[in-house]
Structure 1
Amino acid sequence: MDQILLEYLSLISALQEQWKQISTNLGGGFFQLAHAKYTMGPHRLNQNQYDGRMQATTRVLISQKKDTNMLNTPNEFICQYTLTSLEEISDNNEDNDSSSLRRRGIKNPENDSTKKRSQGRIIDDPLRWFGILVPSSLRESQRHFKQSLSGMINIINLRNEIINKEAEYQMLKKEKEKFMEENRMKHANSAEN
């Protein structure tokens, strides 16, 4: 129980540090965005500059892993969140498709067309919407917001681990109470005899 409690406290400490880091990154991102808007002018950096066909450049992948410590509780699965770019996902899919076709020795015309479509829809850097020579403060703002997103994913994963440690601690606490009650009953029976 002591080991789980120490792990729980270290997770809480890591969570607090992550919140501080996200706060710093978000503050820096908004500050740099305001500086870029001042530098570029209020009419060059607004929602009318956004491409209407824009897509997210990153995705959150959710996977479940089985926690071996929590086999007898309802929370035996832990959700793990990872941040990935769409380019990584499309590269993995193309590698899987091409490797399976190479092994079988079959040429698939659909594969060629999907490669052309995926190359045509490569997601550009959103900073390019605002011209070729964007201010460095706009790039810094983007970097801060990307770091914040990564930190938020870490916070969610830490939160899930904390919830699991709480459940594990409560389970061990109940086992300890049960053991203490059985031990007390055993001593009471032996004292009577």
Structure 2
Amino acid sequence: MISTLMGEMSDDILEVCKELDYLMIHALDLMEEQIKCKLKLQETMKSGCLNLAKARYIMGHNNISSLQLPTEDSAEIAAQRTVASSVETKKNFEYMVFKLHTINLAKMSSGEQEEGNSIRRRASKDGSESKGKEDLNCKKIEDNGLVIATDPIKWFGYLVPQNLRQAQKGFHAALELVVQSANIQSELEATHKRCDKLLKLKTALIAIKSEV
């Protein structure tokens, strides 16, 4: 009877050790993937900022600044890209998964359009800001009545330099990398928690076996 019990406990410890080995290797893989992702994010952000700086040099720093961004007096704007989260189960543990969603402008009401009360004009020569508003080429969403710009790059004009468009593409790619990095980090943290539980279980099993 005792030998049978000892054998079962040995099998349990072996199974725990196998899962621990898998999780440790998986954690190392996730760490490597996270490092690569962050390095790629760094290069993408660097490229986007350089293109943005070139665009400011071409158009002037007053034409590409925070003065072109929506203010509290602007029409309410919904984000074109949002993040949704869900729970995923893998190898006896759960972790949060984030997904990037892009609003489909084609699904918006084509019949309902609103002219922009949107953004402040850039500062005048004496430093004061004009109260005039520019058209943001907005459309109205049927569901919640929010106004969304078809393309935020138009906040800075319609004939923008190519560098500004390249900067926008770069920041879009950076956003996807941020979500990817968050998913890796979430799975890595869940892996560490699972390892901690298994280590405690292994210690308890070894203690019981030694007592028997």
Task: Give TM-score, length-normalised by structure 1.
Answer: 0.71
Stretches of structure 1 lacking an aligned partner (at least 5 in a row): 71-76, 95-110, 187-193
* RMSD (Å), alpha carbons: 2.9
In the alignment, is residue 57 of structure 1 matched against residue 80 of structure 2? yes
Distance in 1 between residues matched to 2:207 and 2:66, nearest whole Å: 66
Distance in 2 between residues matched to 1:42 and 1:164, nearest whole Å: 45
In the alignment, is residue 161 of structure 1 matched against residue 187 of structure 2? yes
In the alignment, is residue 86 of structure 1 matched against residue 112 of structure 2? no
Distance in 2 between residues matched to 1:175 and 1:6, nearest whole Å: 19
1:113, CA displacement in angstroms?
Answer: 8.8
For the 8 Å contact 2:96–2:187, the answer to whether it is kept is no
Distance in 2 between residues matched to 1:156 and 1:68, nearest whole Å: 19
Distance in 2 between residues matched to 1:172 and 1:130, nearest whole Å: 55
- Give the alignment of 1:22-101 within 5 angstroms: 22-51=41-70, 52-53=74-75, 54-66=77-89, 69-70=92-93, 77-87=94-104, 91=107
Task: Give TM-score, length-normalised by structure 2.
Answer: 0.66
Stretches of structure 2 lacking an aligned partner (at least 5 in a row): 1-19, 113-138
Report the count of equivalent residues: 160
For residue 38 of structure 2, what is the amino acid of its counterpart?
W
Which of 2, 13, 18 matches 2:32? 13
- Per-residue CA deviation, residues 141-174 of structure 1 (Å, 9 max, x unaligned), is 1111111111111111111101111111111112
Instruction: Pick the structure with more helix per residue.
Output: 1
Distance in 2 between residues matched to 1:64 and 1:165, nearest whole Å: 14
Identity of aligned residues (%): 23
For residue 6 of structure 1, what is the amino acid of its counterpart?
I
